[in-house]
Amino acid sequence: MSAEPAGVTEIVPMTAAHVDALMPYERAMFGTEAWTANGYRNELADTRHRYYLAAEGAGGELLGWAGVRVIEDSAEILTVGVVPSARRQGLAARLLDALLTEARRRGAAEAFLEVRVDNAPARALYLREGFAELGVRRGYYDNGRVDAVVMTRAL
Ligand SMILES: CC(C)(COP(=O)(O)OP(=O)(O)OC[C@H]1O[C@@H](n2cnc3c(N)ncnc32)[C@H](O)[C@@H]1OP(=O)(O)O)[C@@H](O)C(=O)NCCC(=O)NCCS
């Protein structure tokens, strides 16, 4: 296991204030695939099927976020992001674990996600979190230019 970030990092339910804080990171991290603030607000409003968490540093600053959608017995990881200064300290793994715990509590028996083939850090993260690569969706990102790897694991 990675060491936890220095100071107290708290995992809390994501709020509209976190959405405002994450938008600059979202655009830098996801480019043409970035979600809008309104998109996030709609996600947060759907508490029946979706569950979003944020990680805050000791001063309340946003360090990361992640979300899952649970429909019947299937959970889809929708997004995971960690701000550059807080990476490689186990934060994404903590966020994922918390999402998967909640998904299990809601009755999910399996989890899946899509990740860009060229996103080596995220693919390594998911492999380490017990996901296996199931197949490829051709041209899933960037207007058909970049493939997605579909990954899955039992819960
Ligand atoms: C992918 C991302 C969420 C990882 O966040 P993180 O908090 O740094 O990840 P963690 O510290 O929890 O890493 C857990 C494990 O994942 C793997 N991993 C994470 N980043 C990695 C990297 N850059 N290179 C290789 N392996 C990596 C390692 O196995 C790591 O364990 P270790 O540090 O003990 O070796 C982060 O790099 C990020 O926000 N990237 C931009 C957004 C993005 O691509 N999101 C995913 C979209 S599908």
Given ligand 1 and candidates 79, 82, 147, which is best to mutate, with the most ligand atoms within 8 Å of its CB? 82
pLDDT profile of the chain (155 residues), mean per 10: 62 97 95 94 97 96 98 98 97 98 98 97 98 96 94 98
Rounded to the nearest angstrom, the distance between the alpha carbon of 121 and the centre of ligand 1 is 5
Residue 130 Cβ inside 6 Å of ligand 1? The answer reads: no
Residue 88 Cβ inside 6 Å of ligand 1? The answer reads: yes
Q: What contacts 89, CB < 8 A, 6 or more positions away?
A: 2, 3, 4, 5
| Domains defined along the chain, listed by start | 10-154 (3.40.630.30)
Q: Starting from the edge strand earliest in sequence, which strands make up the sheet with 10-13, in order?
A: 10-13, 50-56, 62-71, 74-82, 110-116, 146-154, 132-141
Tokens of residue 75, six digits:
């959970």
Please check whether residue 36 is in contact with residue 55, taking contact to mean a CB–CB distance below 8 angstroms: no
Report the alpha-carbon distance of residue 50 to residue 52 in Å, rounded: 7
At residue 8, the pLDDT reads 79
